[in-house]
Amino acid sequence: MAMGDSERSLNPAADKRRMYIALGVLVVLGVSVWFTIDSSAVLHVHGFSSRVFSYGDRDVQLRWIPIMILGLFAFRVVMAHMRARLEAKK
Q: What is the pLDDT of residues 53-72, one digit of tens each?
A: 887 888 888 999 999 999 99
Please provide the average confidence, as pLDDT, over all residues in the chain.
Answer: 85
Return phi, psi of residue 59, to 5°: -105, 130
Q: Is the pLDDT of residue 3 over 60?
A: no
pLDDT at 2: 53
pLDDT at 75: 96
End-to-end CA distance of the chain: 10
The model carries a pTM of 0.73
Residue of 18, 31, 2, 6 lying closest to 77 (CA atoms): 18
